Structures are given as C-alpha cells and as structure tokens.
C-alpha cells in the first residue's frame, strides 16, 4: 500500500485508489494514513471525528466507516490479485486490541521518505557540504504537492499533524535556501523569496535570507526596506521588535558599501544570525 499526505490524500493498494468520497470515512483514512503501521486507538478516531461531543452511536458509526474502507481495499486487492495472493482487507486494515492499524506492507509512505531525505540534507549541512545539502533538501521538498491533506476535513488530531508536517517542510525550505546562499546563488533566490516573505509575513529567518540575497545582489535599499516592513508588521500585530540577530543583520547592511558582488565568497555570510563582511 502506498500512502501520500503531502498534498491531497492518496492511498493506493496495487495502484488502485482506496480513498472514499464521503468526508467522514476520508477523515478516518487520513488519520490512519498519518499513523501508518501503528495502532490508532478507537478513542482517538472518535475524538477526531466528533470532538468533545460524540454521538451515542459513535463506535457503531466508526465501525461502519471502517467497513466502507475495507470494501474499497477488498476491491483493490481483487483487482491486483496474483498467484499466491493471500492478503485480505482485514489484513490491510486490521482490528487490533483498542483500535485499528493500516498496514502498508513495505509500500511507499511519502512523509517518511521526506524525513529521510531531509535528514540527509541536514547532515550534509552539518558537514558543510552545501552543494549536497541543497540537492538533498530540494529532493525532499519535491515530494510536496501543496499543503498537507488539503482535501481533508480536519479535526483536532489531523490538524495537529498537518501543522507538524508543515513546520517540517518550512524547516527544510529554510535550510535549502541557507545552503543556496552559502553557494552564492543570491540572485537566483530573489523571486522565490519574494513570494515566501509575502506568504510568511512574520517569519524572521526567511526575511533575513531575503535581505541578504537582495544586499548581495547590489540592492541594499530594498534589503533595508524588507527589514522595515517586517518590523512594522511585528510591532503592529504582536507588539514585538525583530530579533537581535535580524537587527544585527540590518545594521551590517546599513553600514556596508551599497554595491556587493552577487558571487561573493559563500562563507562571508549565511543566515540572519551571521555577520556580514563589510568592504
């Protein structure tokens, strides 16, 4: 069974989709997919579906949703059945003490693959292999096809998992951009960072990276304007000043010469916490 949650929900058995159209069964499958090969307690599924006020028929209704999922899985198994096929729908979506488990049986799970690729990228960053880090982190981010589970009606548990996955994606993105900056790819990053700082209006690291890319592309005034816009947003919406690291970056840009070569040595400046070399 192949599981994808980094975008719309996709669960396939023998290549055949087994995602139902009704919202509640889709929600059940999404939570099982997010915990593939692990037991999901009945209580967790009920909390996800109905929150603090489940109906009296919650357990019976949940069993109905599980039966609907098994019917789809059984059809997929029949479609892909070959010689020696012994697996049943109850083997794939198993009832276990206290809950249910969705068995992938060695299939592809995209969020696990993302973690593996991102981890390789982080290790390359630690080893100062910025070319390898940029490549591996880009490979990890390539597994995403939009925001996680965009087509799922999310309760508290799924919403928490979506936020965790999105934070993991943002961390990988931050480090991939950092690696590209270290490699002197400042001008190449400008269009991407323009979009990102608009999307994440209070994300200091992305703003610092945008400031650095602009400055090293010879656009010091625009880099300083990015800082002022972020500061205005933070003060007006949160009552906070930018971090000390970002303030140091702003001061470094302020006192630097206006022109800065785009291909400057990659070690001269990194993220917002790295001091700019003034020439």
In tens, the pLDDT along 224-278 reads: 999 999 999 999 999 999 999 999 999 999 998 544 433 333 333 344 443 333 3
- Percentage with pLDDT > 90 across the chain: 87
Res. 84: pLDDT tops 60: no
Strands 10-13 and 2-4: antiparallel
In tens, the pLDDT along 171-185 reads: 999 999 999 999 999
- Using pLDDT thresholds of 50, 70 and 90, give the confidence band for residue 145: very high
pLDDT for the residue 62: 97
Higher pLDDT, 13 or 257: 13
In tens, the pLDDT along 64-73 reads: 999 999 999 9
Res. 85: pLDDT tops 80: no
List CB contacts of 223: < 8 A, sequence separation 6 or more.
Answer: 210, 211, 212, 214, 215, 253
The Cα–Cα gap between 252 and 273 comes to 11
If you average pLDDT over residues 98-121, what whole number do you get? 97
pLDDT for the residue 256: 84
* One-letter-per-residue 3-state SS of 241-263: CCCHHHHHHHHHHHHCCCCCCCC
If you average pLDDT over residues 79-85, what whole number do you get? 61
CATH number of 184-279: 1.25.40.10
The CATH 1.10.10.10 domain(s) of the chain lie at 7-102
The Cα–Cα gap between 222 and 48 comes to 46
pLDDT for the residue 82: 56
The CATH 1.25.40.10 domain(s) of the chain lie at 184-279
CATH number of 7-102: 1.10.10.10
| 25-29, 149-153, 210-214, 258-262, range with the lowest pLDDT | 258-262
**Sequence-ordered alpha helix ranges (H) in the chain:** 23-34, 42-50, 58-79, 89-92, 110-126, 130-141, 156-182, 186-199, 204-216, 220-238, 244-255
In tens, the pLDDT along 28-54 reads: 999 999 999 999 999 999 999 999 999
């Amino acid at each position: 069974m192949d599981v994808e949650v980094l975008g719309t929900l996709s669960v396939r058995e023998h290549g055949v989709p087994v995602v139902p159209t009704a919202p509640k069964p889709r929600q059940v499958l999404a939570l099982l997919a997010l915990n593939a090969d692990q037991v999901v307690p009945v209580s967790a599924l009920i909390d996800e579906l109905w929150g603090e006020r489940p109906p009296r028929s919650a357990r019976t209704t949940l069993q109905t949703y599980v039966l609907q999922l098994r019917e789809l899985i059984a059809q997929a198994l029949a479609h892909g059945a070959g010689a020696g096929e012994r697996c049943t729908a109850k083997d794939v979506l198993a009832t276990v003490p206290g809950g249910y488990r969705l068995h992938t049986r060695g299939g592809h799970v995209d969020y696990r693959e993302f973690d593996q690729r991102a981890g390789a990228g982080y290790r390359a960053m630690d080893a100062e292999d910025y070319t390898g880090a940029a490549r591996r982190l880009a490979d990890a981010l390539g597994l995403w096809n939009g925001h996680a589970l965009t087509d799922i009606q999310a309760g508290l548990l799924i919403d928490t998992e979506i936020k965790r996955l999105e934070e993991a994606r943002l961390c990988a993105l931050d480090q991939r951009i950092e690696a590209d900056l270290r490699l002197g790819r400042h001008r190449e990053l400008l269009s991407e960072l323009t979009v990102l700082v608009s999307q994440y209006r209070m994300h200091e690291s992305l703003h610092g990276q945008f400031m650095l890319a602009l400055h090293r592309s010879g656009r010091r005034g625009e880099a300083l304007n990015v800082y002022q816009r972020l500061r205005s947003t933070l003060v007006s919406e949160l009552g906070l000043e930018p971090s000390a690291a970002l303030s140091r970056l702003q001061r470094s840009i302020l006192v630097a010469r206006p022109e800065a070569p785009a291909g400057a040595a990659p070690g001269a400046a990194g993220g917002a916490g790295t001091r700019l070399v003034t020439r």
